[in-house]
Amino acid sequence: MNGKASSQSAHRVVIVGAGFGGLNAAEKLASAPVQITIIDRENYHTFQPLLYQVATAGLSPGEIAAPIRSILSRHPNVEVLMAEVTGFDLDRRVVKTSEQEIPYDSLIVAAGARHAYFGHDEWEPLAPGLKTIEDALEIRRRVLLAFELAERRAAAGEGDDPLNFVVVGGGPTGVELAGTLAEICRHSLAGDFHSIDPRRARIHLLEGGEHVLPAYPEDLSRSALEQLRRLGVDVNTSAMVTKIEPGVIYIGNARMNAAVIIWAAGVAASPLGKTLGVAVDRAGRVLVEPDLSIPGQPEVFVIGDLAALKDASGKLLPGVAPVAIQEGRFVAKVIRTELDKNTERDGNSASQPRPAPRAAFHYHDKGSLATIGRAAAIAQFGKIHISGFMAWLAWLFVHILFLIGFRNRLLVFIQWAWSYFTYERGARLITGGTDLPGWDTAQSRVPGPKQAKEEISAVVEK
């Protein structure tokens, strides 16, 4: 029970991915007599719910990310490895990286998801998505650079047509990006340019379905739409993107010039899911058993965005942090319980967990929140639906509370308090080059939005 196994005989747990699921599994398992190796391709954990703040220059990367080693350094039995996992050998029970093979007794795969272009991968360089810190820096670079190039063009007397920013996808990421971009144009940058007026920039949010934030009840979704419009976002539902070219996006047959295009329209699970050799769904998510293990391999678990599991009502659990956290803790508990049983039985903690009937995972939904912009959000706690400022306060509170590490929490709070009152954004740095698709940056010319105005109106008023 309290038996501390020596490192030779300790039960070996390998966790792939240090997102919310992987980290929580590691934390929960660390006090058990196990040897844990957590592998991630980055050296840091990213607090994904605030990525959009980095993309919109509100926070610096260091404020929403923490080194995985620091987070776990107090556990001597947790090893952190920065490496790229290339596959698995489930028969030999090893995880393969480009350099070595790492043996396991229990395996937790929490490799997450990336954005997906539905067969149009060629759109990625033209319309980056937002899943990593590097993605966020690229979006920040493009947004800020677009204003600089427009100012340069206008200063050179080559016209000051307003900029179009297009966000594709009306889910939580698209909505928070569009709302925050509107705030930047109308407030943060408003007084900083001479030859252009950033307030004239237009933010277009394109959603293929009928509603933004379609996962929410209709009244909240409608409220989100109103709040977006109040912030100055042109919301455009039932809008299907048919083509993307440098600086241009096609919605159906209509053509719209776009200074910056951001992709928030879909996710696909990590390709590692397919290498497990079990069934996956259309988005590449692994169809897990009710206990989150994979069929036929009770020692292999898949959690977080990579797992496809339905709740009691038959609805797929959403790819959000609380689901991943609860799944990580659940799997840790399953492994601990079976180890304890084995230790009791034969005192040998290194033997395999006995395949015994396990409880099923149940997601405890404490509510969900989506932010839209400054003092704008929606929240659902069971039957309670909240909109606007109060929902935003709830969102703020929850996110500061959960942001990993006291230091980051304090800094982020100061940043937010400061920027709430001043509209200032502290991380307005253009780093990583001055190329922008669709712009002849040497000439600072874009295809003038004028010729496409009719098409835009057609689209917007549709």
Binding of residue 424 to its own copies (CB under 8 A): yes
User: Residue 363 is encoded by which pair of tokens?
Assistant: 């997601």
Binding of residue 326 to its own copies (CB under 8 A): no
Enumerate the β-bridge partners of residue 308: 287
Query: Which CA distances in Å does 213 have to 6, 182, 368?
Result: 50, 18, 12
Min dist. Cβ of residue 323 to its own copies (A) = 26
List, in order, residues 6 or more apart from 19 with CB less than 8 Å away.
45, 46, 48, 110, 112, 304, 305, 324
- Binding residue (CB under 8 A) for its own copies from 193, 250, 363, 416: 193
User: Do 303 and 25 form a contact (C-beta atoms < 8 A)?
Assistant: yes
Binding of residue 69 to its own copies (CB under 8 A): yes
Q: Quick one: which segment of 103-111, 120-128, 151-159, 236-244 binds its own copies (CB under 8 A)? A: 151-159
User: Do 386 and 378 form a contact (C-beta atoms < 8 A)?
Assistant: yes
Smaller CB separation from its own copies, 39 or 308: 39
- Binding residue (CB under 8 A) for its own copies from 1, 8, 119, 194: 194
- Binding residue (CB under 8 A) for its own copies from 29, 38, 55, 65: 65
Q: Quick one: which segment of 16-24, 94-102, 104-112, 225-233 binds its own copies (CB under 8 A)? A: 94-102
User: Do 164 and 257 form a contact (C-beta atoms < 8 A)?
Assistant: yes
Provide φ and ψ at 100, rounded to 5°: -150, 175
- Binding residue (CB under 8 A) for its own copies from 5, 55, 63, 235: 63
Q: What is the footprint of its own copies within residues 173-192 (CB under 8 A)?
A: 189, 191-192
DSSP state string for 202-233: EEEEE-SSSSSSTTS-HHHHHHHHHHHHHTTE
Binding of residue 426 to its own copies (CB under 8 A): yes
Q: Which residue, among 150, 164, 163, 165, has the nearest Cα to 195 in the 3D structure? A: 150
Smaller CB separation from its own copies, 194 or 282: 194
Is 134 one of the annotated active-site residues of the chain? no
- Binding residue (CB under 8 A) for its own copies from 43, 348, 451, 457: 43
Q: What is the footprint of its own copies within residues 99-138 (CB under 8 A)?
A: 99-100, 133-134, 137
User: Three-class SS string for 22-42?
Assistant: HHHHHHHHCCCCEEEEEEECC
* Catalytic choice (63, 176, 327, 338): 176
User: Residue 203 is encoded by which pair of tokens?
Assistant: 């933010």
In 10 A of CB 15, how many CB atoms? 31
Binding of residue 316 to its own copies (CB under 8 A): no
* Active site amino acids: 176
Enumerate binding residues for its own copies (CB under 8 A): 42-44, 59-63, 65, 67, 69-70, 73, 76, 79-83, 98-100, 133-134, 137, 144-145, 148, 151-152, 155-156, 189, 191-195, 407-408, 410-411, 414-415, 418, 424, 426-432, 442-444
